Structure formats: structure tokens, C-alpha cells
Amino acid sequence: MLVVVIGPQTRLAKSVLSSSSWASGTTFLLVARHAEEYEALTLAHPRAVAHRGWDSESPMPDADAVAIVCCAFGMIHPAAVAASADLQRIGTDYAMLERIVRRYSERPLHVVLISSVLALCARPGREYYGGWKNVVEGLVRHAAEGGQRRNVSLLYPGRLVDTTARASARAFPHTSYRTLAEKVVKAVQESPVNSVVGLDARLWLMLRSVGLLWSSLTGRH
């Protein structure tokens, strides 16, 4: 199987790439967004294939089956609203994803998107971020549809922490990058999933559900 990684320099991608749970014969195609990232990936992962995502003529290897793991897609945790820049980045990532899907249109294809629990119910003040996450999900589903052997998995984690931080009491409800990476590998190798990941994410949805119930009963938001 060929595993295509979008966002290969993220902490989650590093955990995905270093997982020992991949089946033998798994190869990786790391998608770079620009030349600097391409050079960094070539040096850091000599056994993987680095792909120039901005170049429509950049070759991609053949494969019997393909999984596309979107560790980062579009905007990420914006400090402030930057609508034009975010729109451009998401458009660029979508065009890149569309080219990859088209390249492997005759192969079994599984797209895994790591989203955020805020996409399911954003808290006040994070509507912009949660809204974009919903847009990304819609675009990913649209890119993947149209084939008989295509699947989409959605993972909705809460806060992600480094493995070393798991020892602290404050980090207990959260999910480590390594744990989420193993869920990604399992989804790719076994069956598509739509899953809320992490105790904090489930508690958040429970509390938000109570708030929505109150709004429905009182008409107050």
C-alpha cells in the first residue's frame, strides 16, 4: 500500500510515519507545499518519496491501493481571522488533493482526515475555526466521491499533547499524538471510521449538548 501524507512535518505526521503498526511493504509519499519543505523532507525521510505538491507535473509512484492521510489541510489554529489567506491555502490544498485522487482514480482509495471536535460543535469564539473545519470536511468528501472503491474516515480529536506530557494530571483527558497516529493506522488497515477521539472531546460534546438542549427549551442562546 502507498500512504500519501499531507502535512508531513506536523507532530501528528511524525508519529504516523514512525508507527511500528504499518504492514510490511507500506511505502510513503510525503506531499510538500513548497521547495523548502521538499528539501527538508528529502533529508529527513530518505526512505520515503517526497512529492512537489505545487507542481502538477511532479510524478507519483504507482500502487495497488492508496491511503491519503490529511494530517494538516487548510488553515490551522488561526490567531486571528485572515479570510483571504485562509481561502487561498484551502484552495491550494484542495487542488493538490484533487490531483492525487485523480492520479489514483483506478485504485482502491481511502482518505483519512484528522479534523477537530470543534467542527462538530464549536465553542463561542471559535466559530471561525470550526466553520473552516466543516468546509474542509466537505471538500475532502467531494474530492473522494465518484468511485466505487473509495472510502473516507473522519477523526475528531480534542486537544493533542506530546507523549511525555501524558504523565501530568492536566494532560490526562487529552490524546497523545502517538495514540491518534495508531488510530489513523488502524483506520487505514482495517475499516473506515467516523470517530470522536479523546475523553476531553467526548466531555466537550456532552457539555455542549446540554447547552443546546437548554437553548431548545428556552429559546435562548
Cβ-contact 137, 115 below 8 angstroms: yes
Rounded Cα gap, residues 113 and 164, in angstroms: 25
As beta bridge partners, residue 109 has 66, 150
> What string of DSSP letters covers 168-220?
SGGGTTSEEHHHHHHHHHHHHHT---EEEESHHHHHHHHHHHHHHHHHHHH--
* pLDDT score at 167: 56
* pLDDT score at 166: 53
* pLDDT score at 143: 92
Instruction: Note the pTM of the prediction, 2 decimals.
Output: 0.90
Q: Hey, how many other C-beta atoms are within 10 angstroms of the C-beta on 175? A: 21
Number of H helices, E strands in the chain: 6, 9
- In order of 78, 89, 91, 154, the CA distances from 86 in angstroms are 9, 5, 8, 21
* pLDDT score at 35: 95
Rounded Cα gap, residues 165 and 179, in angstroms: 13
Tens-binned pLDDT, residue by residue, of the chain (221 aa): 999 999 999 999 999 999 999 999 999 999 999 999 999 999 999 999 999 999 999 999 999 999 999 999 987 765 678 888 889 999 999 999 999 999 999 999 999 999 999 999 887 788 888 899 999 999 999 999 876 689 999 999 999 998 765 556 555 688 999 999 999 999 999 888 999 999 999 998 898 888 777 778 887 76
**Which CATH code is given to the segment(s) 2-218?**
3.40.50.720
